[in-house]
Amino acid sequence: MAENRNIIDGVDEETILEHPNIKMHRRGVVDDEVKSLRRDTQMVRAAFHNETWTTDPLGRSVLNVPVYHNSTVTFKSVASLDYSMSDIAFTGMLYGIHGNPTSFALEEAFAIIEGGYSAVATSSGLASNNAALMAFVEAGDHILMTDGAYYPTKLFSKRILKKFCVEVTYYPPDISAREFAKLIQANTKAVYVETPTSNSFVLSDVAMIVQSAHEAGAVVVCDNSWGGSIFKPHDLGCDVVTNAASKLIGGHSDLILGLISAKDEQTYRKVKEMVTDLGCPPGPDDCYNALRGLRTLGIRMKHQAESALRIAEWLESRTEVARVMHPALKSHPQNELFRRDFSGSSVLFGFQLRSFEHAAVVSMVESLKLFSLGFSWGGLNSLISITELPNWDYGAELGETLRLSIGLEDPLDLMEDLDKGFQILCSHSTVAS
Ligand SMILES: *Cc1c(COP(=O)(O)O)cnc(C)c1O
């Protein structure tokens, strides 16, 4: 009824709610027009509210959201300040740390492509994982975490969560429903899943994990950095989806940023409050560049993933290679599950060499001209790293594991580069026994 409505500075609350910065938090991403579009179109169209920020009296507007640099937000009146403080996770701008139109646009776009209610940006992918977990546990609670979790998130659970008396059990990523159910405790409040796992590319049955977790009243947090745009964890019931936007979304190896999408209002409130409490939102330039990267993610992902699969198949034919770990390969033991859950493929995979001396592997890696030695995968430039497979039975004839992130170069050039690297590998030494 009209008399129950909130009026702030003479503005009806319904009108305030129509502003995109407030609407997406209070009512979720309600842009049905964009929601009904296909994913590539969503990436290009999501969160365009340029008219709201930059329209001049002639109706002219810049196309992209401006980069707003702010700590301070100013208020016309104490009433508007009070409104902003009344429910910080939902009432839009208040102070730099609570976000501005640049971060809100990125958050809205991410929530749209993940199919979430709303989203929160953080200062790194690591902060996204860790804040998402902290949002749902307190002292005495228990978390089930995939054994193949992004290693710094594992370290966080071993150092920080332990310090606050949160118990963590690590489960094998390809665990069966029966075994998984056995690990659930009365105090299990959150399950962390990452599929495929960072270095070994083992998949988890997310639908099974969600069912088991929800029966026990635990939330499921899924790190979707590898599969963002080709895998939709919310559709399988995951409550929270995180993404290291430093990788594929940023796409140019020039920013550090994380994103958290929440499936509903209550879940969004918890993660938003945790990110605010921890004080870890990103800066506006990184938000802008992440949104700019997100716009081209669809086409980059398709192109780079196709090259990656082609190179993975070629590697399978090499005598120097013991096996290739890429879930889109028919040889991957969980390829069927992969085809069930993923609508495309990604840019990062691993392969294991036969047994060569470490020095030979180092010579090979250092000889490459088109693969830089480095970690933050998902960019335009191909990368290589020497990785370790946790809890993996190597077997006597197997050697070291290399991880490739395939960029936008021509795959033929990349294969020629690797071919020369293999020649160096083989010439360097005899096969170690
Ligand atoms: C890199 C990465 C992260 C962390 O992202 P940063 O932005 O570098 O902190 C989290 N999860 C996965 C799967 C990653 O590869």
The answer as to whether 168 is a domain residue is yes
191 and 311 both lie in a single domain: no
What is the Cα Rg of the chain in Å?
23
Taking all residues of the chain, what is their mean pLDDT, rounded to a whole number? Answer: 93
- Cβ atoms 268, 136 nearer than 8 A: no
Residue 124 CA: nearest ligand 1 atom is 7
Distance 414 CA to ligand 1 centre (A): 25
Which H or E run contains 338?
helix 335-341
Residue 246 CA: nearest ligand 1 atom is 7
Is the distance from the beta carbon of residue 244 to the nearest atom of ligand 1 less than 6 Å? yes
Q: Average pLDDT in the 361-370 region?
A: 97
Residue 4 per-residue DSSP state: G
Domain boundary among 294, 326, 354: 294
For residue 247, the domain's CATH number is: 3.40.640.10
Instruction: Write the pLDDT tens digit of every residue in 214-245.
Output: 999 999 999 999 999 999 999 999 999 999 99
Backbone dihedral angles phi then psi of residue 197, each to the nearest 5 degrees: -70, 155
d(CA 57, CA 117): 34
Nearest to 196 by CA among 305, 379, 342, 327: 327
Distance 248 CA to ligand 1 centre (A): 10
Alpha helices per DSSP H over 87-124: 101-114
The per-residue pLDDT for 10 is 86
| DSSP-assigned states of every residue in 362-389 | HHHHHH-SSSEE-S--SSSS-EEEEE--
- Cβ atoms 259, 245 nearer than 8 A: yes
Is the distance from the beta carbon of residue 114 to the nearest atom of ligand 1 less than 6 Å? no
Print the domain residue range for 277. Answer: 7-294
**pLDDT at residue 373 is higher than 90:** yes
The per-residue pLDDT for 175 is 97
20 and 137 both lie in a single domain: yes
The per-residue pLDDT for 7 is 79
Q: Average pLDDT in the 329-355 region?
A: 96
Residue 3 per-residue DSSP state: G
What sign results for the dihedral spanned by CA atoms 301, 304, 307, 308? Answer: negative
Residue 333 per-residue DSSP state: T
The per-residue pLDDT for 429 is 56
Residue 410 neighbours by CB distance under 10 Å: 10
Is the distance from the beta carbon of residue 126 to the nearest atom of ligand 1 less than 6 Å? yes
The answer as to whether 47 is a domain residue is yes
Instruction: Count how many domains the chain has.
Output: 2
The answer as to whether 31 is a domain residue is yes
215 and 243 both lie in a single domain: yes
Is the distance from the beta carbon of residue 256 to the nearest atom of ligand 1 less than 6 Å? yes
Q: Is 325 helix (H, G, I), strand (E, B) or coil?
A: strand
Distance 227 CA to ligand 1 centre (A): 13
154 and 199 both lie in a single domain: yes
Distance 152 CA to ligand 1 centre (A): 8
Ligand 1 pocket test: which of 225, 249, 278, 347 has the largest number of ligand atoms within 8 Å of its C-beta? 225
Residue 61 neighbours by CB distance under 10 Å: 15
361 and 216 both lie in a single domain: no
The per-residue pLDDT for 395 is 59
Is the distance from the beta carbon of residue 122 to the nearest atom of ligand 1 less than 6 Å? no
274 and 369 both lie in a single domain: no
225 and 130 both lie in a single domain: yes
Is the distance from the beta carbon of residue 150 to the nearest atom of ligand 1 less than 6 Å? yes
Residue 378 CA: nearest ligand 1 atom is 15
Sheet of 372-373, strands arranged across = 321-325, 348-354, 398-405, 383-387, 372-373
53 and 134 both lie in a single domain: yes
Instruction: Write the pLDDT tens digit of every residue in 17-28.
Output: 888 778 877 777
For residue 337, the domain's CATH number is: 3.90.1150.10
Residue 376 CA: nearest ligand 1 atom is 1
**pLDDT at residue 86 is higher than 60:** yes
> 404 - beta bridge partners?
349, 384
The answer as to whether 262 is a domain residue is yes
The answer as to whether 1 is a domain residue is no
